[in-house]
Amino acid sequence: MASVSSQPQFRYTQPPSKVLHLRNLPWECTEEELIELGKPFGKVVNTKCNVGANRNQAFIEFADLNQAIAMISYYASSSEPAQRVQMHALSALMFCTWPMSRIYLRWQLSALGERAHVFSAFGFVHKITTFEKTAGFQALVQFSDAETATSAKDALDGRSIPRYLLPEHVGQCTLRITYSGHTDLSVKFQSHRSRDYTNPYLPVAPSAMDGSGQFVMGLDGKKLEPESNVLLASIENMQYAVTLDVLHMVFSAFGPVQKIAMFDKNGGLQALIQYPDVQTAVVAKEALEGHSIYDGGFCKLHISYSRHTDLSIKVNNDRSRDYTIPSAPAVNSQPSILGQHPVPMMGAAPPAQQYNGAQYAPNHEQHMMPQPASGWGTSAPAVPQSMPLQMHSHPYMPPGAMPPQMAPGMMQFPANNALPPSSTMPAYGPDHVQ
DNA sequence: AGCACA
């Protein structure tokens, strides 16, 4: 735990790229705005906006690698992995203006929960601090200038935070906004309750780190773990058997699964799932966390990043498998899997509609995950699906070749957060954008 | 009306 305080703790989980991937941009943005964002750091040669089901993701490509690095570095917050930094910093910069006078907004949520993104749609959020009072959850938000603050106040006061920005269990959050009496926020640390987006070198608050300095808290107070290409999934409420093949199918929807190891822990089932790269694991985790494999909350997944990066699978059996080894796995030696499959799944469970949660916009045109094969009894969209490249090409689960255990009531895959595992552009051709 | 500091 030594050695951390004076240096910013950037953690780059990806090799540098000329292409930056921006996630969680609030609402739609334009190509012009993306160019404005990147211009201070170099020559923007390509952009793609309105990517993803929520149209809140984008790509920026620079002419030179160093320019992309410069942008990342500038907006890096020392308390977060680089991927999240991109997301936060860039969302704070949308519709940006750069001027002098400062003004504060005070806002209040009618329920617990905090989303800086809400404000960043209107301009560069310089600093934010949150706190709880008897009246509710409050925050001070400092913008770059008064005009920006005024437009944000006028647009947001009395309105609700978009559902997709909120956790499922949080009800409607109505904002109340007035001007603050403060003139300048003085943020001493980056922490789970306050941020200074103008200063990437601000130290991380000790309270936001654990003993080893490894984990930090996100602005929402949740733990941020170092990202990994290996996920640790624990399964709760396990009314039905979860087999290796079921896990393989569920996790393969986001990219090729290299290895799976299942084991029992504290009376529950856990599994380590290995992807070839971190980004695929990030997408899978964000999409699957908290959701159930079967309708009715059965076999609910809780997913975290593993400390492992490469599992060593000693033997292929019904609890562990290395899918990268070409020797045909003896799937047929377990004919009982189907027989053991829970009967209620086949008839009693209603058609799978697990992902009608608000954070997954029900935008069928934008679905990029494999749709249920015809015959599953769920409504298939009329329009052809646009799938990311790896869905067509990865050898582990060709589209339409779902394992037989896929039963009615099994989870469908969510539509958003489904990004290609690389931060290159080609997966989103120009025909995908209006 | 209500405004932080690890």
Shortest CA to C1' contact from A194: nucleotide: B4
Shortest CA to C1' contact from A181: nucleotide: B3
**Can you give the distance from the CA of residue A207 to the C1' of nucleotide B6 in angstroms?**
6
Inter-axis angle of helices A278-288 and A244-252, nearest 10: 100
CB-contacts to strand B (7 A): A 104, 106, 108, 129, 131, 133, 135-136, 138, 140, 176, 178-182, 184-189, 191, 193-194, 205-207
User: Are the C-beta atoms of A300 and A242 separated by less than 8 Å?
Assistant: no
Give the phi and the psi of residue A2 in degrees, each rounded to 5: -70, -155
**Can you give the distance from the CA of residue A385 to the C1' of nucleotide B5 in angstroms?**
51
User: What's the mean pLDDT when you consider all of chain A?
Assistant: 62
Nucleotide B1, nearest residue via CA and C1': A135
Q: A414: buried, middle or exposed (CB in 10 Å: 19+, 13-18, 0-12)?
A: buried
Range from A178-182, A210-214, A260-264, A324-328 that averages highest in pLDDT: A260-264
pLDDT digits (tens, 9 = 90+) for A122-169: 767 788 887 766 666 677 888 877 778 888 878 878 877 666 555 555
DSSP three-state, residue A268 = strand
User: Are the C-beta atoms of A284 and A255 separated by less than 8 Å?
Assistant: yes
Q: At a CB cut-off of 8 Å and minimum separation 6, what does A364 contact? A: A381, A383, A415
* Residue scoring higher pLDDT (A181 or A305): A305
* Residue scoring higher pLDDT (A274 or A46): A274
Res. A70: pLDDT tops 60: yes
- The two three-digit tokens of residue A133, written as one number: 């009072």
Inter-axis angle of helices A82-91 and A65-75, nearest 10: 80
